[in-house]
Structure 1
Amino acid sequence: MAYKIPESVLVVIHTPALDVLLLERADHPGFWQSVTGSRDLPDEPLPDTAWREVGEETGLTLHDGVLSDWCHHIEYEIYPQWRHRYAPGVTRNTEHWFGLCVPQRCAVTLAPREHLQSLWLPYEAAAERCFSRSNGEAILQLPRRACATDSSLNSHA
């Protein structure tokens, strides 16, 4: 079994009006979150991880919005129900935060094995809906981080 790398991205997809896209987890109905996912390889550039996860989970591409690296990361304890995906003894993950600003609310194509449904909410309501406190905290940072263009990562290096 190939273990997950304990380094991941959180991508808050939002509009200029600060509406946020949330996804309901298929493996835990009622758990709402932003796009998340781990690096596939230890040297995979984090922006590439972000775009790959956005594409896999929503069908959005680099033509659909502006990706910005929030230059922020957190470390957290991996929920016990998901630790089996990691190498034995791994209990912590480092998560890097990104924002993806899309022009307006849009339909997305969900990965049915990962998500049941999606919804757009104003950022404060979206933060409240998240099962992960850190995901909610990231969303609450939108007013000061939204649609940053100076650190745009739309092109792949």
Structure 2
Amino acid sequence: MFTSMTTPSQLRDKIRALEAQQREKELMAQREAQEKEALRKKEQLRERQEQQAEAQKREQTLIRKYGTRWGKALATGKLELGMTKQMCQEVIDIKSYDIGKHNYAGHIIETWTFNKDKQDLQVAAAMSKLSGEEAVALAMFIGLAETFGATAPQYTILTFTDGKLTSIY
């Protein structure tokens, strides 16, 4: 590249050319990083919009099925006194509850009590269907959630009288 016949001005020109090439490479790398970031943000926005659309669709389905008052409550994951067992199952996973039934004064009383062991079995069954890496990631996430108390159920005990929710604990 450099020979003994190279003059100082030629050396300066070659150095400037090399510096310009380096700047161009840096600019290209910066543009690529910006494009990747823009694509990532675009994908996040698309996912968020899809989630919102799904939530709206679910809310509309619940409103059509149960009416405005109950549908909106169920869409936000809330149970209210007077809801039916079917409505409650829109929010909670009945497979994680122990169910007891008895008659009292001519009424059918049904109590759903949350059972952590049943929930753990549900999670284990779901994890068995995942790949190794996915299962490890889920186990780590669950461990972190348990550390912060995030796995405690919102509804521990639900009592129904003649099919209607009459108490929430």
TM-score (norm 2): 0.23
User: Relative contact order (C-alpha < 8 Å, sep 6+): which is higher?
Assistant: 1
As a proportion of its length, which structure holds more strand? 1
Q: Decide which structure has the larger Cα Rg and report it.
A: 2
Q: TM-score, normalised by structure 1?
A: 0.24
